[in-house]
Structure 1
Amino acid sequence: MALISDGRFIDDVWRRLAEEEALPKSGKVIVSLARLDHAIEVHGPGVDLGVIAPNTTDPAALADALPKLGLVSIVFPAFADGRGFSLARLLRRAGFAGELRASGRLLADQYAHALGCGFDTVEIPDDIEARQDETQWRAARDAHARTYQRGYVAPGSILDARRKAAAQ
């Protein structure tokens, strides 16, 4: 899997744990939503916790855990399933300030929207990486100077720019 940040492929510093794998004493680890409560109870001070959550997750199910998490990875099972974008916005509105990762079947054409919804990184499968190289992801990131959402990618939104122009 390739990890994209700021339009570039980067190394992943987080490690996804298998369901039966014990929680390590140190490092950055990602656990499943089913293991999250237990991982929070037993994790030591040297462990940074992340969770991988389906795009159908109720944000309220993560609310208590958000201050303890360094990463939330939202699964996109198909490029046409946009529920993960909504979940990302809701988590950012709830105050989550850690890394927000889109994981799964996203395409470069969706990258600017993912950033606008609050995602920091995108993890894509090898078959998509083979078809869409770093240049395409960077071009997609730079395709729009402004977004409809406020505050995540560019300062101000398209609506803010229109209001400013009308006032002048």
Structure 2
Amino acid sequence: MALVSDGRFVEDGWRRLADEETLPKSGKAIVSLARLEHALANLPAGVSLGVNLPNTTEPASLAAALPRLELIEIAFPAFADGRGFSLARLIRRAGFKGELRASGRLLADQYAHALGCGFDTVEIPDDIAGRQDEAQWRAARAAHARTYQRGYVAPGSILDARRKAAAK
């Protein structure tokens, strides 16, 4: 898997745990949603905690865990399944400030939209990374410096910029 951050392929400092694996005593660990409650109760304070969510997760079910989570990873089982984008927006609106990661079959063409929905990083399979190199992801990030929606890519929107220019 390749991890894209700011249009570049970067090293992933997080470790994804299988449900049967012992919880670590240090480092950064990603657990499944089924294991989240157990991890919250038993993980030492020095361990950074992340959770992997299906794109069908109800955001309200995470409310109590949000302050303890440093990473939320949302699964994208297919590039045409956009439910993860909606889930990301809802999680950001709920106040999550940590790293939000899209994981799965996303394409570089979807990168600007992912950033606009609040994602910080995108994890893609090696076959997609082989077809769409770092240069394509960088270009996709740079292609849309502003959007019509107020989001997370840049402060303001195209409409805000037009209103500001008209007021001068």
The TM-score normalised by the length of structure 2 is: 0.97
Conserved? CA contact 2:72–2:98, under 8 Å: yes
Aligned to 1:142, what secondary structure does the other structure show? helix
- 1:131 CA displacement: 0.3
Give the structure 2 partner of residue 39 of structure 1.
39
Is the aligned partner of 1:27 residue 2:13? Answer: no
- 1:149 CA displacement: 2.8
Conserved? CA contact 2:102–2:122, under 8 Å: yes
Is the aligned partner of 1:73 residue 2:73? Answer: yes
Amino acid at match of 1:13: G
CA root-mean-square deviation: 1.0
- Measured in 2, the distance between the counterparts of 1:148 and 1:83 equals 20
Aligned to 1:49, what secondary structure does the other structure show? strand
Give the structure 2 partner of residue 8 of structure 1.
8
Conserved? CA contact 1:7–1:137, under 8 Å: yes
- 1:80 CA displacement: 0.7
Amino acid at match of 1:54: P
- 1:151 CA displacement: 4.4
Amino acid at match of 1:88: A
* Structure 2 unaligned residues grouped into runs of 5+: none
Conserved? CA contact 1:23–1:43, under 8 Å: yes
Aligned to 1:66, what secondary structure does the other structure show? coil
Give the structure 1 partner of residue 137 of structure 2.
137
Aligned counterparts, 1:66-145, within 5 A:
66-145=66-145
Conserved? CA contact 2:117–2:151, under 8 Å: no
Conserved? CA contact 1:50–1:71, under 8 Å: yes
Conserved? CA contact 2:5–2:121, under 8 Å: yes
Aligned residue pair count: 168
